[in-house]
Structure 1
Amino acid sequence: MAKVGIIMGSKSDLQIAENVIAVLEEFEIEYEVIVSSAHRTPERTSEWARNAEANGIEAIIAIAGAAAHLAGVVASESNLPIIAVPVAATSLAGFDALLSMVQMPGGIPVATMAIGNAGAKNAGIFACQILAVKYPHINERLKKYRQSIKDKVYKDNETVQEILKERKK
């Protein structure tokens, strides 16, 4: 069964991680969550990343703010796809985390999402897309999900048109 690893730099990142968890649960994908810091617990972080594949993890989502070296450290220790979510944890509003994640040296890629909640949701969806290559049932769920968000836009348009129509009366 597909499994995603979620690693957070600190407990305060759980609020952002909840967006990832919601997506994975919607798609019925197993996950594990760990708090481990690239700076405060580097040995634990490296060990977890090195063992992730052996533990059945097929993609990793790293969530961190500030200097945000977490995704890069994990990527240096694992051949699994790494998806980074920057968190607005300092006065730089997440820009520092974004740059730390997106400016990886050639050869150690990290797929970096947007800062915060939208990035976390997209990280969950991106993990599903990665897994969909191997698992047809996840691919089918992605197709249904895409159709549902498309349908919502059409429905929202109808609602707006009705509101505007009523305004003209």
Structure 2
Amino acid sequence: MADMNKSEKNMPQVGIVMGSDSDMPVMARAADVLEELGIPCEMAIISAHREPDVFFSYAKSAEEKGFKVIIAGAGMAAHLPGMCAAIFPMPVIGIPMHTSSLGGRDSLYSIVQMPSGIPVATVAINGGANAGLLAARILATSDPELLKRLKEYSVKMKEQVEAKDARLQTEGYRAYLEGMK
């Protein structure tokens, strides 16, 4: 398990767990958003199916580690988010991974079809950035400074879209497309 920020005063607030290193590019987008917002997190690769004892220990100790939210990404059978939610008493955000056989619908259905009493918030297939933002919004309900940073992040996103439109209006769509190559 790799700590994103190892100092004692910056204990991880969000656990990011994935079943395979093939999920890393998507999960890294969640970590990138959290890092940009100043939220310490910890990443781990743990298979709920291949290492059930290691997984159980991770989920059971998450609260003691200070996690307030877990972001769990998984593909195919995608039991990792649901199992986290069954053990960890705070919010779990599931990221369904795109799969070659069903395009991620199998993962999505596995995560959203949880039994009553075991909720898992679910973002879009490969929705790593939105998972990071959702975790930040959950944490911001009790952190006014984080809420301020989230609002600044939203303004920055708006300004990026406005800048792209200004460029489109100035260059025209053909030059804009050419510049994207």
TM over 0.5: yes
Q: Note if 1:148 corresponds to 2:152.
A: no
Structure 2 residue 103 is matched with structure 1 residue 93: yes
Partners of 1:29 and 1:152 lie apart in 2 by 22
Cα distance in 2 for residues equivalent to 1:72 and 1:5: 15
One-letter code aligned to 1:70: L
- Find the partner of 1:110 among 108, 116, 120: 120
* Secondary structure, counterpart of 1:63 in structure 2: strand
Deviation, structure 1 residue 110: 0.3
Q: Give distance in 1, aligned partners of 2:166 and 2:24.
A: 36
Q: How far 1:132 sits from its partner (Å)?
A: 0.5
Residue 170 of structure 2 aligns with which residue? 162
Corresponding residue to 1:56 among 66, 72, 75: 66
* Count of aligned pairs: 164
Q: Where does 1:1-169 land on structure 2 (aligned, <5 Å)?
A: 1=10, 3-116=13-126, 119-164=127-172
Deviation, 1:140, is 0.7
Where does structure 2 lack aligned partners over 5 or more consecutive residues?
Answer: 1-9, 176-181
State TM-score, norm by structure 2.
0.85
Identity of aligned residues (%): 43
Equivalent residue for 2:179?
none
User: 1:66–1:90: 8 Å Cα contact kept in structure 2?
Assistant: no
SS of 1:38's equivalent?
A: coil
Deviation at 1:90, TM superposition (A): 3.4
Q: Deviations over 1:42-70 (max 9, x none)?
A: 22212211111111111000011110010
Contact 1:24 1:30 in 2 (8 A): yes
Kept in 2: contact 1:62–1:70 (CA 8 A): yes
For residues 121 and 112 of structure 1, the distance between their equivalents in structure 2, rounded to whole angstroms, comes to 12
Question: Relative to structure 2, which stretch is displaced further, 104-113 or 89-98?
Answer: 89-98
